[in-house]
Amino acid sequence: MTTHSHILQRTKADTRQRAALQNVMNLYGVLLFSGLLLSIFTHGIEDVSGFMSFLLISGMLYFLLVTFYFKGGVWRSFVYATTGVIGLISICTAFYLA
């Protein structure tokens, strides 16, 4: 019986730790995208509508991936694959635009 309660306590601690980490990741996302939104006014971006659409799509993708990551299992693998695809596209774009 003590083993079961010990495992249950460890599981509760893991759940609290994951929830705290998810809150930190969400707070980081809010601060990151708020800073990017603020850069419209501080840097005088000319194509505001294009930048706003980029921010909207990026923000939705970020928070969706954070949510999927903390669901675990297959969703975590989906996040890793999506992150890998985004990385490959970024590298290909950098060489294409160079």
pLDDT at 5 > cutoff 70 = no
**Domain limits at 54?**
2-97
- Alpha-carbon distance 63 to 32, whole Å? 12
* 25 neighbors 66 (Cβ within 8 angstroms): yes
- Alpha-carbon distance 64 to 42, whole Å? 28
Return the DSSP state at 44: T
72 SS3 class: coil
Distance of CA 18 to CAs 3, 15, 24, 69, 76, Å?
22, 5, 10, 10, 13
Give the total number of structural domains in the chain.
1
Q: State pLDDT tens for residues 31-59.
A: 999 999 999 989 988 899 999 999 999 99
Number of helices (H), then strands (E), belonging to the chain: the values are 3, 0
Q: What is the pTM of this model?
A: 0.80
Q: State pLDDT tens for residues 51-93.
A: 999 999 999 999 999 999 999 899 999 999 999 999 999 999 9
